[in-house]
């Protein structure tokens, strides 16, 4: 079975390919097939790379690899991120998130599955709308934001983004392209309550490289943390 996240309503899917939105209309599974050593090695998703490390290619992820990636992300936030933010214990059901990342990208798809596994409330945006985004943040009070550079720039430079209240936000994570010091400083000047700016030159392209927040330090070659 191949599931496609369409970027255009006019796109005709080949035979045997299912639209992602159709899967949302299906009845929940009452019986889940048991996990066996053989099923762990089966490919669960085929994610296409645009060629960051070479030619465009399909990257195969097995059930076991994808599960390990999700568990690493969940465990890292639970033991490393939330402890720095002073959250103990963590109630995943109260950790709402406003997501404006594309699920056709591995980072957006990974975070979607992470929130589904933890049971965290998710506010999904089909397209980015500044007013809707800011209203959702105000209503659902996320502790951290996952953004792309254009959204970060919107919060730093746009009049509405600059004056909006991010009172619940303690950390913002931005990837896909480097953030300049000037843009980061402008963001912090407008939103001084945000304690951490976490940035990557890519949004977890291999999604097993995850940062460690320990004050104002460089965690590894993929991520750097700013603490004002």
Is residue 134 in a domain? yes
Most confident of 20-34, 136-150, 213-227: 136-150
Is residue 34 in a domain? no
Is residue 88 in a domain? yes
Considering only residues 200 and 40, tell me which one the structure prediction assigns the higher pLDDT.
40
Once rounded to an integer, what is the mean pLDDT over residues 13-30?
A: 80
Tell me the H-state helices in the chain. 20-23, 37-40, 63-76, 82-85, 106-118, 130-140, 149-157, 159-163, 181-190
Residue 188 domain boundaries? 69-226
The structure tokens listed for 71 are 């568990």
Cα separation, 197 vs 213, in Å, equals 10
SS3 state of residue 129: coil
Q: What is the pLDDT of residues 81-100, one digit of tens each?
A: 888 888 889 899 899 999 88
Is residue 185 in a domain? yes
Q: Return the beta strands (E) in the chain as ranges.
A: 2-4, 17-19, 43-49, 57-62, 97-99, 122-124, 144-147, 171-174, 196-200, 223-226
CATH number at residue 187: 3.40.50.980
Is residue 124 in a domain? yes
- 213: pLDDT strictly greater than 80: no
Is residue 56 in a domain? no
**Structural domain count, the chain:** 1
């Amino acid at each position: 079975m191949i599931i496609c996240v369409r970027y255009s309503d006019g796109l005709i899917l080949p035979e045997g390919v299912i639209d992602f939105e159709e899967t949302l209309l299906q009845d929940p599974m009452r019986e889940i097939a048991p996990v066996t050593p053989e099923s762990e090695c089966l490919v669960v998703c085929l994610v296409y790379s645009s060629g960051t490390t070479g030619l465009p290619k399909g990257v195969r992820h097995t059930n076991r690899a994808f599960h390990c990636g999700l568990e690493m992300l969940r465990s890292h936030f639970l033991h490393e991120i939330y402890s720095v933010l002073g959250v103990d214990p963590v109630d995943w059901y109260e950790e709402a998130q406003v997501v404006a990342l594309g699920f056709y990208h591995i980072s957006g798809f990974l975070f979607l599955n992470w929130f589904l596994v933890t049971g965290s409330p998710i506010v999904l945006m089909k397209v980015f709308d500044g007013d809707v985004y800011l209203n959702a943040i105000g209503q659902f009070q996320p502790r951290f934001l996952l953004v792309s550079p254009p959204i970060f720039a919107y919060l730093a430079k746009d009049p509405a983004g600059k004056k909006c209240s991010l009172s619940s936000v303690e950390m913002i994570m931005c990837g896909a392209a480097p953030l300049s010091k000037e843009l980061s400083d402008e963001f912090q000047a407008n939103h001084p309550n945000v304690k951490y700016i976490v940035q990557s030159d890519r949004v977890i392209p291999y999604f097993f490289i995850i940062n460690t927040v320990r004050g104002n330090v460089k965690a590894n070659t993929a991520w750097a943390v700013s603490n004002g």
